Amino acid sequence: MQTIRLHDPLAALGEMLRDGLRTTRHAAWVWWRTASTSRDIDDLDPRMLADLGISRAQADFDASRGAWNGLGR
């Protein structure tokens, strides 16, 4: 038997807060991952960059953009 749930403002607020925390946690993870990847690429030597098909200029540009740019990807 299915129960009918009446609108509960506190339950709705709790769901909104959980969704907001989930979104914030995901944004923080994306920021951390983007910053980490940019640092890793910036540390590669020219031979390793060539293996990836990335020039030193592209690696420097990516590192200079800032990790917050990864949030829109």
* DSSP state string for 2-42: PPPPPP-HHHHHHHHHHHHHHHHHHHHHHHHHHHHHHHHHH
Cα-atom radius of gyration of the chain, to the nearest Å?
Answer: 21
At 1 the pLDDT is: 57
What pTM, to 2 d.p., does this model score?
0.57
Read off the pLDDT of residues 21-58 as tens digits, 9 standing for 90 and up: 999 999 899 888 888 888 888 889 999 999 999 999 98
At 13 the pLDDT is: 81
